[in-house]
Chains A and B, each alone.
Chain A
């Protein structure tokens, strides 16, 4: 990715993160507005960078893992702005943007990657795109869980602190984690299935060991379990939140494995 194009986006996100955290500490109307502006500016620059990248490659701009992470960040930031706008959850940025910043920094500093010759064909793009949307949804699942646990702890301790005043109701937060799980899971599922099908057609088997595929399967099992628990076992609240965090940890390991371990996704 062109540094000249992606750097403004990274700077925009970092500024937005700083402002969002400042807003969390001291709720100042102006700070929030600046945070939103900065987020949008970063996102606009990011959009341009992705378009240029796509034109340059003559293909969707997520053919390598660093590129794909960059697109995931693009989706995450878009969702952050939309959810915040719709729900009025103004502290969301303070929780989501740090994750977005870490991911984009990882993506831009990872070793330059080229598209593997084995990777071609429309299904691969769909596989990656679906997985990315799933991952973006799970970021919000994770953030919702963190906010739930913070608020729940404050209410149980009976000592209202900063988070008590800033975070919404427990029910709202539990609903956010549930909805993002329900949204992300189908995307992840279909994304993984397509990946497995692709592996079988191109390598003859779906079951050879690939670190990214392995850990994403672990994450999928955790999320599937949580969803089943929620739907049938009446799971909710703290337990669901713990599982959301474990699931996200598995996803982080997945991405880490993809970025730093050799395998078919290493390109």
Chain B
């Protein structure tokens, strides 16, 4: 029996095809039961997200199993298998394990490190479990994939740094202020992106929120939406003196916050830093404020540049994650190999022990005058012989299965020692 994964993903299949293949949970339940019912795959899990459709399974012949699984899938979705077949990839054994680990750890994602995929894999696994299409092999594979994904998340910083402009702004704020709890935020102007940034800040504990807008009613509306307070437009400078973070996004053609105004308010701030997140184009905050001490100003281009650095940082971390996964794959295969050979080793021992006990009995029956010492010696001799003879084959079995070639050796041992059919 081989472990395999077959499917297609954002890497090779266009979205038009992926969306045709995507399948809802009810249909998915039906599908996994159908695939298993066909008798070729004793174990099967189907993962269907907007970026990938994959079948994880255990089968004697992965190629045949793949064809079967996707025939069912295409029938369910009413599309032609011929259009899908050439795009399918198949990974078997070690490759399949590596693929499962990489997918769960979000290394194979379109946005490397995105957190949703792990939940999606967990859901797919739970659904298959509920449909009783998960056996011991897929169970070990997936539980290990989940723990590897968790290790990648905690031991590397693959998902740590923001890849969106609004989250990057929040991270920057955290590099200026020791925690965002009870930091006052001022929103100047109304825009979707500034509102989003303000929401992120509030989620991190920022409070209170002030809103200033040239149109008083809009300031009030937005203040209500963010549980904040509206500030009259002509009191903008006073507000600058009290808040910690300012998010600006007005449509004004000229800067609404001048260097001179900021210089004035900084006097009364007793060294508290002031952070401007300027999302407006044209910009709302005069770039000249950069030269003021304790003032930090990031416009939209600066934020995009930070996101770019974050992406590079993620890519570096992804390399570390790949190395970690490589080690985990090795460990997993070794364990899987052991699991595979243990029943055979147990029955091999039992078989030889049976022969030994029988022969010892027969020999001792023919030696009625044997002293207890002689009897003990015969027991010891026969045990030692059996152990010595078993040593080499058992070692060989373990080694070959760890190297991924255990199956043919297992068959051979079963044949040679007449151990009966393997399950």
With most chain B CB atoms within 10 A of its CB, the pick from A160, A169, A234, A235 is: A160
Which residue of A29, A155, A238 is within 8 Å of B293 (Cβ)? A238
Is there a chain A Cβ closer than 8 Å to B328's Cβ? no
Q: Count of A residues near B, CB < 8 Å?
A: 26
Is there a chain B Cβ closer than 8 Å to A165's Cβ? yes
Known: A159-B309, A160-B306, A234-B271. A165 touches B178 (CB 8 A): no
Is there a chain B Cβ closer than 8 Å to A236's Cβ? yes
Known: A27-B157, A237-B294, A238-B293. A160 touches B174 (CB 8 A): no
- Bound-state CA distance A169–B293 (Å) is 16
**Chain B residue with the shortest CB-CB distance to A175:** B178
Give 1 or 0 for each of B130-174: 1 = CB within 8 Å of chain A CB: 000000000000000000000000010100010000000000101
Is there a chain A Cβ closer than 8 Å to B320's Cβ? yes
Q: How close is B166's CB to chain A, nearest CB, in angstroms?
A: 16
Is there a chain B Cβ closer than 8 Å to A156's Cβ? yes
- Bound-state CA distance A26–B157 (Å) is 11
- Bound-state CA distance A169–B180 (Å) is 11
**Chain B residue with the shortest CB-CB distance to A230:** B271
A158 near B306 with CB under 8 A, answer yes
- Bound-state CA distance A32–B129 (Å) is 40
- Bound-state CA distance A234–B174 (Å) is 23
Known: A159-B305, A159-B309. A29 touches B155 (CB 8 A): yes
Known: A158-B302, A159-B309. A169 touches B175 (CB 8 A): yes
Q: Which residues of B contact A164 (CB under 8 A)?
A: 175, 309
B305 near A158 with CB under 8 A, answer yes
Q: Which residues of B contact A235 (CB under 8 A)?
A: 271
Is there a chain A Cβ closer than 8 Å to B310's Cβ? yes
Q: Count of B residues near A, CB < 8 Å?
A: 25
B175 near A170 with CB under 8 A, answer yes
Is there a chain B Cβ closer than 8 Å to A168's Cβ? yes
**Chain B residue with the shortest CB-CB distance to A173:** B178
- Bound-state CA distance A161–B309 (Å) is 8
B271 near A236 with CB under 8 A, answer yes
Which residues 154-202 of B have a CB within 8 angstroms of A? 155, 157, 161, 172, 174-179
Q: Which residues of B contact A172 (CB under 8 A)?
A: 178
Q: How close is B408's CB to chain A, nearest CB, in angstroms?
A: 38
- Bound-state CA distance A164–B171 (Å) is 10
A155 near B320 with CB under 8 A, answer no
Q: How close is B99's CB to chain A, nearest CB, in angstroms?
A: 25
Is there a chain A Cβ closer than 8 Å to B241's Cβ? no
With most chain B CB atoms within 10 A of its CB, the pick from A26, A156, A167, A235 is: A156
Q: Which residues of B contact A239 (CB under 8 A)?
A: 293
Is there a chain A Cβ closer than 8 Å to B42's Cβ? no
B178 near A168 with CB under 8 A, answer yes
Q: Which residues of A contact B306 (CB under 8 A)?
A: 158, 160
Q: How close is A35's CB to chain B, nearest CB, in angstroms?
A: 16
Q: Which residues of B contact A236 (CB under 8 A)?
A: 271
Q: Which residues of B contact A29 (CB under 8 A)?
A: 155
Which residues 289-310 of B have a CB within 8 angstroms of A? 290, 293-294, 296, 298, 302, 305-306, 309-310
**Subset of 20 A-B contacts with CB under 8 Å:** A27-B157, A28-B320, A151-B175, A155-B172, A155-B176, A158-B305, A158-B306, A159-B305, A159-B309, A164-B175, A164-B309, A165-B161, A167-B175, A169-B174, A169-B177, A170-B177, A172-B178, A237-B273, A237-B294, A238-B293
- 4 nearest A-B residue pairs (beta carbon): A171-B178, A236-B271, A160-B309, A172-B178
